[in-house]
Amino acid sequence: MQTFLRGRNLVSDLDFSKEEVETVLDLAWDLKRKRAVGERHAHLLDKTLGMLFFFSSTRTRCSFEAGMAQLGGHAAFIESRTTQISHGDTAKEIGEILGRYFDGLAIRHCDWQEGNAYINEVAAASRVPVLNMQCDVYHPFQCLADLMTIMEKKGRDLRRKKIVVSWAYASSYLKPISVPQSLILQMPRFGMDVTLAYPEEFPLMPEIVDEARSQARQHGTAFEIVHDMKESFTDADVVYAKSWGPLLTTADPDEGKQLQDRYQDWITDQDKMQVAAPDAIYMHPLPADRDIEVTSEVMDGPQSVVYDEAENRLHVQKATMALTMR
Ligand code: CP
* pLDDT recorded at residue 311: 98
Q: Is the CB of 58 under 6 A from ligand 1?
A: yes
CA of residue 52 to ligand 1 center, whole Å = 14
Which of 109, 243, 313, 316 most suits a substitution to test ligand 1, by most atoms within 8 Å of the C-beta?
313
CA of residue 307 to ligand 1 center, whole Å = 12
* pLDDT recorded at residue 150: 99
**CA-63 nearest atom, ligand 1:** 8
* pLDDT recorded at residue 132: 99
Instruction: Report the relative pairing of strands 238-242 and 281-283 from DSSP bridges.
Output: parallel
CB 264 within 8 A of CB 169: yes
pLDDT digits (tens, 9 = 90+) for 67-88: 999 999 999 999 999 999 999 9
Q: Is the pTM of this model over 0.95?
A: yes
Q: Is the CB of 142 under 6 A from ligand 1?
A: yes
Q: Is the CB of 59 under 6 A from ligand 1?
A: yes
Q: Is the CB of 140 under 6 A from ligand 1?
A: no
3-state secondary structure the chain: CCCCCCCCCECCHHHCCHHHHHHHHHHHHHHHHHHHCCCCCCCCCCCEEEEEECCCCCHHHHHHHHHHHHCCCEEEEEEHHHCCHHHCCCHHHHHHHHHHHCCEEEEEECCCCCHHHHHHHHHHHCCCCEEEEEECCCCHHHHHHHHHHHHHHHCCCCCCCEEEEEECCCCCCCCCCHHHHHHHHHHHHHCCEEEEECCCCCCCCHHHHHHHHHHHHHHCCCEEEECCHHHHCCCCCEEEEECCCCCCCCCCHHHHHHHHHCCCCCCECHHHHCCCCCCCEEECCCCCCECCCECHHHHCCCCECHHHHHHHHHHHHHHHHHHHCC
CA of residue 167 to ligand 1 center, whole Å = 17
pLDDT digits (tens, 9 = 90+) for 170-186: 999 999 999 999 999 99
Q: Is the CB of 285 under 6 A from ligand 1?
A: yes
The Cα–Cα gap between 36 and 217 comes to 39
* pLDDT recorded at residue 25: 98
Q: Is the CB of 173 under 6 A from ligand 1?
A: no
**CA-286 nearest atom, ligand 1:** 1
Residue ranges for the chain with pLDDT beneath 70: none
The Cα–Cα gap between 76 and 64 comes to 10
* pLDDT recorded at residue 44: 98
* Domains and their CATH numbers in the chain: 13-139+313-325 (3.40.50.1370), 140-309 (3.40.50.1370)
